[in-house]
Structure 1
Amino acid sequence: MLTVLRVHLPSDIPIVGCELTPYVLLRRPDKSVSTDDVNEFGPVDGHFLRYKWYRIQSDKKVAICSVHPSEQATLQCMGCVKAKIPVGKSYHCSSKCFSDAWQHHRVLHERAASAVNENGNEEEELFGRFNSTGSGGLAISQSNSSLSNGTTPLYPAAVAQRNGGETWFEVGYAKTYTPTADDIGHVLKFECVVVDAETKLPAGHVNTLLTSRVIPAPSPTPRRLISVSGVDVTGHLDLDGRLSSSGTFTVLSYNILADAYATNELYSYCPSWALSWPYRRQNLLREIVGYRADIVCLQEVQSDHFDEFFLPELDKHGYQALFKKKTAEVFSGNGNTIDGCATFFRRDRFSHVKKYEVEFNKAAQSLIDALVPNAQRRSALNRLVKDNVALIVVLEAKFSNQGVDNPGKRQLVCVANTHVNIHQDLKDVKIWQVHTLLKGLEKIAASADIPMLVCGDFNSVPGSAPHALLALGKVDPMHPELAVDPLGILRPANKLLHQLPLVSAYSSFARIGAGLGFEQQRRRMDPNTNEPLFTNCTRDFIGTLDYIFYSADSLTVESLLELLDEDSLRKDTALPSPEWSSDHIALLAEFRCKPRTRRG
């Protein structure tokens, strides 16, 4: 018969909204070992597995530390209570925790009047109910009926067991369970037992495991949109929360850190539960959806995560999607974990016109065939052929084209989304990939004469040769990075140029002095490069690698998503962290189309 050999959870710290999937190892009647589920509708040798989840509620109420959510709180900041800051953010596990966090905590007090936590009212209600002394905390919430934790999503409070000073409520009958707000502060219990399919009675030992206390999902203070045009856009939101300024649209670029790269070895400073994909995907989705961008360019999206998560989830929010995964020819391993670039756009704002896919390995092979002698081709291929790609999408706007020279003309926008090679010892490859992309965009611009947006992770810091090529249209022949060119693909240096009038969107913070919060943003910019001080922040590296470039002859920047300051991130050592689930930060710009002067 079936035998359960082992049961465990990848992470024993459950988070609200993040699905728990136990690992259940079985021995089948034929002595084979498997993790495949055996349910009531497909019994094996007359037996199947039955699962139950319980919430263990102690008669003693517990508050959770806002800084260390796996710890119980021992003190509360009364300043937060008076300022009506969500009560969950007022708890700390020790006086040292409170004093260490004060530099960042006081920002909540300072911003309480002008910035409300995105889920503030809801969070205050949940924590308030949880910390009340009445019996309300024992009620099953009706607000999470969309979460299906078994064949019946909700369970009556009568289904409970008393054990000393504890009450066990049955909350799920499926193998997986998604904690709800009612679970905050409580331990969950998972039961798994082999059941006789005919009698429906247990036929073996009941396997159980207990989790740590359920913690709320950390909620960072929302990043504001800062005007750089002198127009206060923060007050012009429609009922859906999106900017309703006529003729403008927003573009988001974000390297979300593929799960395949999010290892404990690389990011040992990030708690394992916060580094797990079930947690990160929900946190990333919440962040991305919260920006409500019209166009979303994501990098490091695994192909399986695109198909199984981002595509269906963002479809619910009105987005259409296009995806280009890295080329598999230079990848060995599980094909599902190959990452790529995903571009989403709101169906009510844009329609899809055309798509171009750039595979740098194919361009590299053609170049090597033309330039490199046969004897050197193997080493040349090893150096130049990489799996990086770019996804170029031409979209047509559905909104009013205010400011366009011909209001009756179709308003097209070309959006390039790319992830350039990461290896720092292959600077010639980086330059060549960026140059190849720009020459392709030049051809599109010449044929259609449409606004250009070039977004992505270029793995190139400001002042590097790829950045110079993008921002200045050329590279100084004496640039030190051009000295590394073993294949001769960068010679002559005067060929490294393009005619696209590209400008970095975030350089507007350095060039334009209007708008709320501008001075604070100026301090987060590098005055020497007019770029952010960083878009990537790990324990071992901090710097800018991500950009949104736009064609300045056809678009103007209206506003930018505020940058983060390093001090606020260093409280968690670096990125990723429980609050921010990638090692990069998201960039977002609002653009307006302007009258065109056709390029000759």
Structure 2
Amino acid sequence: MSSKEKPGSSLSKPNPREKERPPVATNEEGFATPISRKLLHEPAVVRVELLQTRTPVEGCELTPFVLLKDLNGDQRTAEAMETRTKGVLAAQYRWYRREYRFVCAKTGLPAQFECLELGRVRTELERLGDTSVANIAGLAYFHQSTEIIDIWSTFRELWRRVRVLQQQKEARREPALRNKNALRIDQSRDEALVCEIPPENDSKLVECGFVRNYAPTMVDIGRTLVLECRYIWKVPNEEIRIGPPVYFETLPVIPFPPPPPERRMFLVADTNCDYSVKDRVCSGEPNCFPLRLLSYNCLAEIYANSDLYSYCPDWALSWNYRRRNLLREILSLEADVVCLQEIQADHFEEHFNPAMRRAGYEGIYKAKMRESMGRKGKVDGCATFYRRDRFQLIEKHEIEYSTVAREKVKEKRLLNRLMKDNVALLVVLEDTATNSRVCVANTHIFWDPDQTDVKLFQVDTFLQEAERYIGPRNLPLLIAGDFNSLPESSIYELVVGNEVSGQRPDVIDGMLEILKISPCQHNMLLRSVYGLGGEFTEPAYTNYTGHFVGTLDFIFFTPDKIVPVGTLEILDEARLLGEEYTALPNPRWSSDHISIMADFDIRVLHPGQSTASWA
């Protein structure tokens, strides 16, 4: 291959009708900085960058971070400055798409290579009087050199037409003139077939947005985006002043990745028999209503940092991408009840609740008992959604483990150890078709593997509260959540075995001291839908990161009132990660946990069995 500029092209001759390419100045980190000289005693745009990533993804909002400086030299974000000055000083945003003169005929991406052979054959056809090829010039440009192979058969057909036209022309000539000055088709075979297109590719800017947050479209794929930012200053007794521009240019926009591999449902009664999540299968038992329950720890934004998940590309770790991918996965599973953990308060209000409502769900939320991390709403919690065409919310009950600890524990040292912010959310739903009720509980237990006593206290509190409320009314119970405990743990033993033996591998010194305040036993019959054959039949993992692989998430149920039908497949490593990825999260899966789901048949209770009110 050779690199050259096409003769006669306008690569070095800017078109006066096109918008001038802006001077984008960046520092060592790639952040835009102003290059225009600022007037004295005027505000300034100090810094422009994108939050989380410089790689835009089609359909995912880009959120700029802009730092403004006021007349006193104070620097604040554009939003804070506008609030502080009551709109006197604000930022103006304008987005551009960088368009290129030469684009790939196959992908539409900016061309990096030109096939010179197409130009030669086109010229020869036009010389021979064939005008049907006037519009094939665009076929000569490619984003990758390997794409030329896909169109090589077209080149061969065009050269065949050249030979046919030559033969026809020779047949019409005088015999004495035949073969004189005849064109040798292969005369230029020693010349380069492909050349590189200069990086600037004769680009221009096309305005595509006049808003702060911009979501790239399909038209933007393969192009870089340029953000132009200026300050707007409402000078007292004068006209509004608009400052000089500061630019920031992104990396090329990439398409939104395709969905991950399909996961099948497997029958509990016959694990060799599977069915699609689009289908519903019943147990065949009479007097039941179906319920599909999904549980998913979604990895809150406040915990998704690049240091912990360094193997995940920054664009795939950004919340604007992950929320869209998470919602796509959740809605594709078509659950009747959805129990989510690690949902931030602001994300519930701004993203999850509106999206789930549009899909036909109603939601309830309970935040953890701690201060927000830096900004309003930056605290996670549990969210439960249910289909409003199937169920009616009868009651809800919130459990705050730290509040219970304050009521039960007097010893300061133990109280401080138990003062964790985890919560649980219990709801009673009524099936509108049968008027029968079921209780669904959602919880997220403390994470630290070295504090088994804290986990025991929380799970025992959770079970005591659940038994207290469902017992008098004989309600069916479904429990979903992230228990942050392995199947061989004391926590799992307590749930399905009704008590703690003290013989499990997670026993720590002083753990049984918790028995002074918590009985660590209950009278409910509970089973894990994924571990019906015992704890060792649980999946190999529901959490798969670069530093831990194991099963932490469970769905428990009361088997005397609920019939398990099927469970959602847990993909093996080959299908979960493919050849591209090493752990979760990644561009395919947007949480470090794997969603779990089960189909149940809920036995219909006789009239009057579940009419009592919550205490």
TM-score by length of 1: 0.71
Distance 2:302 2:106 in 1: 35
Distance 1:300 1:174, change over 3 A: same
Over residues 287-345 of structure 1, what are the superposed CA-to-partner deviations in whole Å (9 max), with x where a residue is unaligned?
1122221111111111121122212221111211111111127x875562221111111
Contact 2:489 2:505 in 1 (8 A): no
Q: Which residue, 375, 383, 390 being the options, matches 2:417?
A: 383
Contact 2:68 2:231 in 1 (8 A): no
- Are positions 1:436 and 2:461 aligned together? yes
Distance 1:346 1:481, change over 3 A: same
- Are positions 1:3 and 2:40 aligned together? no
Contact 1:535 1:584 in 2 (8 A): yes
Over residues 61-87 of structure 1, what are the superposed CA-to-partner deviations in whole Å (9 max), with x where a residue is unaligned?
2888xxxx9xx99xxxxxxxxxxxxxx
Deviation at 1:583, TM superposition (A): 0.6
Q: Which residue of 2 aligns with 1:214?
A: 253
Q: Which residue of 2 aligns with 1:227?
A: 267
Matches within 5 A, 1:46-125: 49-58=91-100, 59-61=102-104
Deviation at 1:223, TM superposition (A): 2.1
Letter in 2 for 1:552: P
Q: Which residue of 2 aligns with 1:501?
A: 525
Distance 2:521 2:97 in 1: 63
Distance 1:350 1:588 in 2: 18
Contact 2:63 2:213 in 1 (8 A): yes
Tell me which moved more, 255-264 or 183-192. 183-192
Distance 2:511 2:266 in 1: 45
Distance 2:358 2:274 in 1: 26
Distance 2:551 2:329 in 1: 20
Q: Which residue, 580, 590, 597 being the options, matches 1:588?
A: 597
Q: Which residue of 1 aligns with 2:357?
A: 315
Q: Which residue of 2 aligns with 1:536?
A: 543
Q: Secondary structure at 2:530's aligned position in 1?
A: helix
Letter in 2 for 1:60: V
Tell me which moved more, 429-438 or 196-205. 196-205
Q: Which residue, 333, 337, 341 being the options, matches 1:291?
A: 333
Distance 1:195 1:269, change over 3 A: same
Letter in 2 for 1:489: I
Distance 1:433 1:195, change over 3 A: closer
Tell me which moved more, 480-489 or 288-297. 480-489
Contact 1:224 1:561 in 2 (8 A): yes
Distance 2:105 2:515 in 1: 64
Distance 1:381 1:457, change over 3 A: same
Distance 1:485 1:461 in 2: 20
Letter in 2 for 1:336: G
Over residues 192-239 of structure 1, what are the superposed CA-to-partner deviations in whole Å (9 max), with x where a residue is unaligned?
2346879999844321121111112223123223333469784695xx
Q: Which residue, 445, 450, 474 being the options, matches 1:420?
A: 445
Q: Secondary structure at 1:534's aligned position in 2?
A: coil
Contact 2:444 2:482 in 1 (8 A): yes
Percent sequence identity over aligned pairs: 40
Distance 1:463 1:579 in 2: 30
- Are positions 1:360 and 2:369 aligned together? no
Distance 1:544 1:63 in 2: 45
Largest Rg, 1 or 2: 2
Q: Cα RMSD (Å) of the superposition?
A: 3.6
Deviation at 1:260, TM superposition (A): 1.1
Distance 2:106 2:542 in 1: 34
Q: Which residue of 2 aligns with 1:186?
A: 223
Over residues 395-451 of structure 1, what are the superposed CA-to-partner deviations in whole Å (9 max), with x where a residue is unaligned?
11123x5xxxxxxxx311101101111111111111121111111111222121111
Q: Which residue of 1 aligns with 2:38?
A: none
Contact 1:428 1:490 in 2 (8 A): no
Letter in 2 for 1:591: F
Contact 1:320 1:344 in 2 (8 A): yes
Contact 1:556 1:593 in 2 (8 A): yes
Matches within 5 A, 1:141-152: none
Distance 1:204 1:539, change over 3 A: same
Distance 2:392 2:379 in 1: 28
Contact 1:328 1:335 in 2 (8 A): no
Deviation at 1:462, TM superposition (A): 0.6
Unpaired runs of 5+ residues, structure 2, are 1-41, 114-142, 147-199, 283-287, 611-615
Distance 1:94 1:233 in 2: 44
Q: Which residue, 444, 447, 453 being the options, matches 2:472?
A: 447
TM-score by length of 2: 0.69
Distance 2:231 2:409 in 1: 61
Contact 1:256 1:299 in 2 (8 A): yes
Distance 1:44 1:477 in 2: 63
Contact 1:397 1:411 in 2 (8 A): yes
Distance 1:197 1:438, change over 3 A: closer
Distance 1:62 1:544, change over 3 A: farther
Q: Secondary structure at 1:285's aligned position in 2?
A: helix
Distance 1:203 1:353 in 2: 56
Distance 1:530 1:50, change over 3 A: same
Contact 1:536 1:584 in 2 (8 A): yes
Distance 1:471 1:24, change over 3 A: same
Q: Secondary structure at 1:311's aligned position in 2?
A: helix
Unpaired runs of 5+ residues, structure 1, are 74-91, 96-162, 370-376, 402-409, 512-526
Q: Which residue of 1 aligns with 2:129?
A: none
Over residues 138-157 of structure 1, what are the superposed CA-to-partner deviations in whole Å (9 max), with x where a residue is unaligned?
xxxxxxxxxxxxxxxxxxxx
Distance 1:336 1:288, change over 3 A: same
Distance 1:269 1:233, change over 3 A: closer
Distance 2:239 2:252 in 1: 32
Contact 1:553 1:596 in 2 (8 A): no
